[in-house]
């Protein structure tokens, strides 16, 4: 088990971290304004800066984790919402993107391994048509049916313009036929299967988002897919039981997202509880 002992002075926080058996390292944490620089010379690593002083403990503990766990946490931390996207450079070819999505479908869990998630990848002209025509037309129709004026429609559809310049879109579906078959075969869980289906698509969405981000793309998750359901099914002859859930828009980043602010000590007080330790 890793142990960390710290001694605080007004300008410096000195820590001794024990990583495994017989491996002890002294860490010096010097406070600078609202953040902290952790000097890791004894690890042969450069200093790094934390936005929140309270995050230092989490980062030190993470250093004691197995390397595979550290790598995984680093990969999921890379996933961010990025909206300024472009088609060039393409980064990956279609076979490479297909390979990523195929692996995600294979390795992402679903209830009783039912494999309910379905994916549609839109590239090139199909991606452009989806965000340039299909969704704007569907959204305009919905807004008009609810009495929206031209200014409101222009404002709502104008936001869609940021998605068309991206490289591609992954549309996520769930197979209702699979869910209904589970309900039929295991009626004792009938009310749970639609909930578990939502879990499955959420896992797939996060895995796809993380994988494409770590391949070098920027990406953002949208929820207009229900508006384009009929058009997609007619154009691509998709099964009627497929229900759209979300879209992952991805492309080359033209700007980096803003640094993520998270005070782990304060925010996790209400989000993470541990008992029995």
pLDDT of residue 277: 81
Residue 167 pLDDT more than 70?
yes
Quick one: angle between helices 67-78 and 56-63, nearest 10? 140
What the block records as the tokens of 252 is 């080359």
Domain ranges of the chain: 3-78, 85-253
CA distances (Å), 252 to each of 89, 172, 190, 206, 214, in order? 6, 21, 43, 19, 12
Rounded distance, CA 274 to CA 88, Å? 46
Model confidence pLDDT, tens digit, residues 64-106: 889 999 999 999 999 999 999 999 999 999 999 999 999 999 9
Higher pLDDT residue, 21 or 225?
225
Q: Tens digit of pLDDT for each residue in 177-194?
A: 999 999 999 999 999 999
Give this prediction's pTM. 0.78
CA distances from 51 to 112, 163, 220 (A): 42, 31, 24
**CA proximity to 1, closest of 65, 72, 69:** 65
Q: What is the DSSP code string of 218-243? A: EEEEE--GGGGHHHHHHHHT--TTEE
> Can you tell me whether residue 176 is helix, strand or coil?
helix
Indicate the fold that domain 85-253 takes in CATH.
Answer: NADH Oxidase (3.40.109)
Alpha helices in 33-93 (DSSP H): 56-63, 67-78
Taking alpha carbons only, the member of 147, 161, 168, 141 closest to residue 248 is: 168
């Amino acid at each position: 088990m890793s142990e960390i002992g710290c001694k605080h002075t007004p300008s410096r926080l000195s820590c001794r971290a024990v990583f495994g058996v017989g491996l002890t390292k002294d860490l010096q944490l010097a406070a600078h304004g609202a953040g902290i620089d952790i000097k890791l010379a004894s690890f042969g690593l450069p200093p790094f800066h934390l936005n929140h002083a309270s995050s230092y403990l989490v980062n030190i503990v993470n250093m004691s984790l197995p390397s595979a766990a550290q790598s995984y946490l680093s990969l999921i931390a890379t996933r961010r919402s990025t909206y300024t996207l472009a088609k060039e450079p393409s980064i990956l070819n279609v076979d490479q993107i297909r390979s990523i999505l195929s692996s995600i479908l294979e390795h992402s869990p679903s209830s009783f391994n039912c494999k309910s998630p379905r994916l549609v990848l839109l590239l090139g002209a199909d991606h452009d048509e989806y965000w340039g025509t299909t969704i704007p037309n569907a959204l305009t129709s919905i807004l008009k049916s609810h009495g929206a004026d031209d200014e409101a429609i222009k404002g709502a559809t104008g936001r869609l313009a940021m998605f068309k310049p991206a490289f591609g879109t992954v549309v996520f579906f769930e197979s209702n036929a699979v869910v209904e078959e589970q309900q039929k075969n295991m009626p004792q869980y009938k009310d749970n299967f639609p909930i578990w289906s939502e879990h499955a698509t959420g896992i797939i969405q996060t895995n796809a988002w993380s994988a494409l981000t770590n391949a070098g793309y920027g990406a953002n998750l949208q929820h207009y897919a229900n508006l384009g359901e009929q058009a997609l099914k007619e154009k691509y002859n998709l099964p009627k039981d497929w229900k759209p859930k979300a879209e992952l828009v991805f492309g080359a980043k033209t700007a980096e997202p803003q640094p993520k602010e998270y005070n782990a000590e304060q925010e996790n007080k209400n989000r993470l509880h541990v008992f029995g330790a």
